[in-house]
Amino acid sequence: MRTLITLPHVHRRQIPAKFRKDDNRFSENFVEFFLDKYTRRGDIVLDIFVGLGTTFFVAEEMGRIPYGIEYLKDRYLYIKEHVKNKNNIIHGDALKLLEYKLPKCDFCLSSPAYMNKDDTENPYTACKTEGNYEQYLEDTRKIYSNVKEIMKPESYIVIEVSNLKRNGEVTTLAWDIGKIVSEVFHFEGEIIINWENDDSEKENGIYGYGYDHSYSLVFRNK
Ligand SMILES: C[S@@+](CC[C@H](N)C(=O)[O-])C[C@H]1O[C@@H](n2cnc3c(N)ncnc32)[C@H](O)[C@@H]1O
């Protein structure tokens, strides 16, 4: 397994202006890399945090069948309008995954909503309720335990995540998520994505959160 890859941090797809200030999408080339590596045409691909739908759009372009969940209604409606597999996107909560009766999946690619260790709002309710970092990690463990129930044997699960720098403090989010999800799936190792763009002096890092790179944590359903 290559453990370091360099990708341009670019988005091919234009999104409506109202979503641009919270644009935390995957780059399409990132999704292509992992779908090429871990799936074949006709495979079922799950993204439990659909966001603005990059996994859905790229999976459809590559002849895979996407399924997924998005908590925010405006994002859900935007994706539903633009994808072919309209009934495969659910407006819901990843913590309730097993209620949605999804089919067994061949591959899961997702990036959770992020949380800093001193935040007091729960990112899994779009910050509408109170939360703390310990509860967030516990919810993350529950979410991926549910994912395990619907993954085919020997399938791969990739979680894209970064550590977070803020005000001189680092939240070791990537490592903490790596540790708890390792209790659910077999950890195969990390692939570091070295993100490149034309603006290498971007104040908060090319990826964001103070970093130029992110981690793709690769797990297997053994
Ligand atoms: C980091 S973004 C994912 C971006 C996505 N990979 C893309 O390319 O557009 C995380 C998404 O998870 C959604 N989310 C947060 N809590 C959720 C939950 N409990 N269930 C499902 N989705 C949730 C957020 O609204 C957000 O759109």
Q: Which atom of ligand 1 is nearest to the CA of 72?
A: 25
What confidence score (pLDDT) does residue 198 get? 78
Tell me which of 31, 49, 214 to substitute to probe ligand 1's pocket, judged by most ligand atoms within 8 Å of the beta carbon. Answer: 49
Strand partners, 47: 68
Q: Give the 3-state secondary structure of residue 159.
A: strand
What confidence score (pLDDT) does residue 57 get? 98
CA distance 84 to 67: 11
Chain mean pLDDT for the chain: 96
Atom 27, ligand 1: residue with shortest CA distance:
51
What confidence score (pLDDT) does residue 1 get? 82
What confidence score (pLDDT) does residue 55 get? 98
At residue 171, does pLDDT exceed 70? yes
Can you give the residue ranges of every domain in the chain? 4-220
Distance 53 CA to ligand 1 centre (A): 9
Contacts of residue 46, defined as CB under 8 A and 6 or more positions apart, other chains included, come to: 66, 67, 68, 102, 105, 107, 108, 109, 110, 147, 150, 151
Q: Which atom of ligand 1 is nearest to the CA of 124?
A: 16
At residue 202, does pLDDT exceed 80? no
Give the mean model confidence (pLDDT) for residues 96-116.
98
Name all residues whose Cβ lies below 6 A of ligand 1.
24-26, 49, 51-54, 69-72, 75, 93-95, 111, 113, 123-124, 126
pLDDT tens, position by position, 45-57: 999 999 999 999 9
- Contact criterion met (CB below 8 Å) for 67 and 105: yes
What confidence score (pLDDT) does residue 194 get? 97
Cα 73–chain centre separation: 18
Confidence class for position 164, pLDDT limits 50, 70, 90: very high
Q: Which atom of ligand 1 is nearest to the CA of 69?
A: 21
What confidence score (pLDDT) does residue 36 get? 98
Q: Which atom of ligand 1 is nearest to the CA of 114?
A: 1
- Angle (CA) 8-140-16 rounded to 5° is 45
Q: Quick one: 130 exposed, middle or buried, by C-beta within 10 A (0-12, 13-18, 19+)?
A: exposed
Which fold, 4-220? Rossmann fold (3.40.50)
At residue 213, does pLDDT exceed 90? yes
